[in-house]
Amino acid sequence: MPTTADPQLSVWTYPWDVADRGLDPVIEEIGGLGLNMVSLATSYHAGRFLQPRGLSRKSYFPEDGTVYYRPSPALWADRRIQPKRARQVDEDGDMLRALIDQREKSGIAVSCWTVCLHNTRLGMLHPADVSRNAFGDPSYFALCPSSPEARAYARTLARDISENYRPDRIELETASFMGFTHGYHHEKDGVGLTPEEDFLLSVCFCDHCRAHATTAGIDFATARGWVQSALLAAFERERPERTFPDFPARGIGTFAGVPAFHALLEWRNEIVTSLVAEIRESAHPATKIVAVSDTAPHLAALDPERAAAASDGLILCLYGASAEAVYGIADTRKAIGREKFLGVGLTLAHPAVAGPEELAEITRTAVDAGADGLNYYNYGLVPARRLAWIGHATRALRG
């Protein structure tokens, strides 16, 4: 693992940005920013991306739920849920392979930023494997981590990438549950959901969760009935009204007075932890596997300490956090031990960080608190002068 004097410093990057700007110029720019790693999106979802430094375009709409490498047919032969190679790979070339091939010469290590279960394309194709709320309604953008086929998909994804490309690291995004409110296309809510109600709609009650939770001794029917009753009451109100005002500050402890539901929430952590462990076991041992914590633990059911124990470490996304708040990772450092990697994700997006001095302070604070590395978001989404803040931060870090 990197030492405090030589942390892993990476930038999250899209393959279409590498292709647009050119491999050699991107590698040169990343190295010039004082970075020693690139975190390339290897499996990703749809969106609309403003590209302020784009050479051939200023906005981009990637395909939904595709992978940005060349999958091995042999590894996927017996899998019901199959990856789809993005057209961008065929049109522009395999940017992951290009970065891997240049790794020794460039000195830039390669990490694969891999979205696991957030996949609307696959959810629409495999509705039996998506998360469902207490009323049985599907969240098509979220494959459920309780689904055996969804788990097999995530495991095979990591095995495929690690065996055939041998990156230094794979960063697991959404190897977990997801929330009801996600930023899906034209989301509508005329009720005015409170935070606790949004969470109740997020908890999965699919058949896979029912089967596994019941086997684990969870009173699934009672938990589901309570959630349904609570939501139906909310849907009858004239105006929003908090029923659990200490949520989300208390996390799942807020629901300790509802034993069946609280037990279900605790059990969800076990499902996610075991999936992370299975992915680590399936991947090639030469590639490090780290779990990305990019949403509230109560939503994802990704317990940082357990996830770190099940893998090679963590990346905690602390977008918009102050230096004082970032120093709080010292508690996580102590909890997971020195042998596990601990990274911090920081964003350059306005207005999360005010300027280069603040970014430098937060970077230094993260390392002082025990971070082994930092990831900056995102290479292609910010203007050149803001991207340069990374260089200021890495120079300040190295004195």
Q: pLDDT tens digits, residue range 34-77?
A: 999 999 999 999 999 999 999 999 999 999 999 999 999 999 99
Determine contact, residues 49/20, Cβ cutoff 8 Å: no
Chain centroid to Cα 281, Å, comes to 19
pLDDT for the residue 1: 41
Q: How far apart are CA 89 and CA 66, in angstroms?
A: 10
Q: How far apart are CA 78 and CA 13, in angstroms?
A: 31
Read off φ and ψ for residue 393, nearest 5 degrees. Answer: -65, -40
pLDDT for the residue 126: 98
pLDDT for the residue 325: 96
pLDDT for the residue 181: 83
**How many C-beta neighbours within 10 Å does residue 56 have?**
10
Q: Choose which CATH entry (3.90.1660.10, 3.60.150.10, 1.10.300.10, 3.20.20.80) describes domain 8-189+269-397.
A: 3.20.20.80
Q: How far apart are CA 91 and CA 83, in angstroms?
A: 18
Find all residues with CB under 8 Å of 81, minimum gap 6, and list them: 122, 125, 126, 129, 143, 149, 150, 152, 153
* Bond from prior residue into 133 cis (ω within 30 degrees of 0): no
> Residue by residue, what is the 3-state secondary structure of the chain?
CCCCCCCEEEEEECHHHHHHHCHHHHHHHHHHCCCCEEEEEEEECCCCEECCCCCCCCEECCCCCEECCCCCHHHHCCCCCCCCECHHHHHHCCHHHHHHHHHHHHCCEEEEEEECCECHHHHHHCHHHEEECCCCCEEEEEECCCCHHHHHHHHHHHHHHHHHHCCCEEEEECCCCCCCCCCCCCCCCCCCCCHHHHHHHHCCCCHHHHHHHHHCCCCHHHHHHHHHHHHHHHHHCCCCCCCCCCCCCCHHHHHCCCHHHHHHHHHHHHHHHHHHHHHHHHCCCCCEEEEEECCCHHHHCCCHHHHHHHCCEEEEECCCCCHHHHCCHHHHHHHHCCCCEEEEEEECCCCCCCCHHHHHHHHHHHHHCCCCEEEEECCCCCCHHHHHHHHHHHHHHCC
Six token digits for residue 87: 């057209």
Six token digits for residue 350: 């306005």
pLDDT for the residue 4: 44
Q: How far apart are CA 371 and CA 205, in angstroms?
A: 36
pLDDT for the residue 5: 55
Compute the C-alpha angle 194/195/198, nearest 5°.
Answer: 85
Determine contact, residues 208/147, Cβ cutoff 8 Å: yes
Determine contact, residues 292/172, Cβ cutoff 8 Å: yes
pLDDT for the residue 34: 98
Determine contact, residues 12/377, Cβ cutoff 8 Å: yes
**Which residues of the chain, if any, have pLDDT below 50?**
1-4
Q: How far apart are CA 312 and CA 322, in angstroms?
A: 27
pLDDT for the residue 183: 67
Q: Give the type of residue at 316.
A: L
230-to-135, 257, 262 alpha-carbon distances in Å:
12, 14, 14
